[in-house]
A and B are shown apart, each in its own frame.
Chain A
Amino acid sequence: MDFDKNRLAQQFMEALPHAQALGIFFENIGSGKAEMHMNYNKKFIGDPQTGVIHGGAVFALLDSCCGAAVLSHPEQKGLTATIDLRVDYMRPAKPGQTIRASAQCYNMTRSVAFVSAVALDDHEDKPVATAAGAFVTGKS
């Protein structure tokens, strides 16, 4: 089971050049939930004064994670696409720390999947960012 999951994650990873470029790694995927992380990289800095990662990179991480959560939902068939996604940036991610995201597809209808996600760094009590969005479902 674990072997299959890892293989699935790996295949998914290889199919996403942008996720690869950002150095996004899968940790877990299944049953409408997904976990990923993105290591700190100076190339992704958005504020040169502080060295904080740009919001766009965090957005891409959360979008990938939400998409993966939809794909892993038992009722999902085929591919998905983002309809809308809103990200709230609660605080700057600490420079140098890995950002971890976890997403959950909490409701699925015939045409739309509703997903929420959270991004954390080492200080787990306070989220770095949260996301809420709607995705296209391939449910037949």
Chain B
Amino acid sequence: MLKPRPEPVQVVKQRRDSALAALVESIPYIQFLGVRFDRRGDELTAVMPFCDQLIGNPGLPALHGGAIAAFLEVSAVIELSWAGLWKEIESPVITPDQIKSGKFVSIPKTIDFSVDYLRTGLPRDAYARARVNRSGRRYASVFVEAWQDNKSCIIAQATGHFLMPDPYLETTP
């Protein structure tokens, strides 16, 4: 029996990008921070473009510690949701429209979040990548780090624990 031809690359990219956009747009707080996500395959990089409302110390000026923490936390939450949804998006048993409706995807809940501030956040764009270190049925542990001009100069890192929604897909569409 012949293997079915793989889907055209545009179709795959379009489906992944719109699924990611739907997931990100469903969370108002991410829009408030102005954070967006770049995707290469399943790898995500969160980007927080600089804007005045993120300033915590106007004298320097420096990014607010709370803004940096929030940026790290949304990066971790999106990475965890994205990793959990990846198979469903690929199969695809879940469509971007269903993600957008917010009814089919439950966001993991933060149990605790611990941030190390390593350098002052400069008035520039910030980037972050998260890594799911362990994801069980009930709990997940996620590490996330953020940098600005140089990837080797981490401005802040965090570890968070999350309660996984049960079941992950509330309703199978």
Chain A residues in contact with chain B, CB under 8 A? Answer: 15-22, 42-49, 53-57, 59-64, 67, 79, 81-89, 92
Contact = CB atoms under 8 A, between A and B. Distances in A.
B138 to A, nearest CB: 15
A67 B56 CA distance: 11
A43 B31 contact: yes
A87 B67 contact: no
Contacts of B73: 54-56, 59
Given A43-B28, A48-B27, A88-B111, 12 more contacts: A15-B57, A17-B53, A18-B63, A19-B64, A45-B29, A49-B106, A54-B70, A54-B74, A57-B29, A82-B65, A84-B117, A87-B69
B132 interface: no
B23 to A, nearest CB: 10
A64 B66 contact: yes
Contacts of A49: 102-103, 106-107
Nearest to B57: A79
User: Which of B54, B67, B102, B116 has the most chain A CB within a 10 Å cutoff?
Assistant: B67
A59 B70 contact: yes
19 contacts: A17-B58, A18-B67, A19-B66, A46-B107, A47-B27, A48-B107, A54-B27, A54-B74, A56-B69, A56-B71, A56-B74, A57-B70, A60-B65, A79-B59, A81-B117, A82-B65, A87-B113, A89-B109, A92-B109
B113 A63 contact: no
Contacts of A44: 28-29, 32
B26 interface: yes
B166 interface: no
B117 A54 contact: no
Nearest to B31: A43
A84 B26 contact: no
B33 interface: yes
User: Which of A45, A49, A54 has the most chain B CB within a 10 Å cutoff?
Assistant: A54
Contacts of B106: 49
A81 B62 CA distance: 10
A35 B153 CA distance: 34
B112 interface: yes
Interface in B60-110: 63-67, 69-71, 73-74, 77, 102-103, 106-107, 109-110
Contacts of A18: 53-56, 63-64, 66-67
A21 B53 contact: yes
A5 to B, nearest CB: 21
B14 interface: no
B1 to A, nearest CB: 43
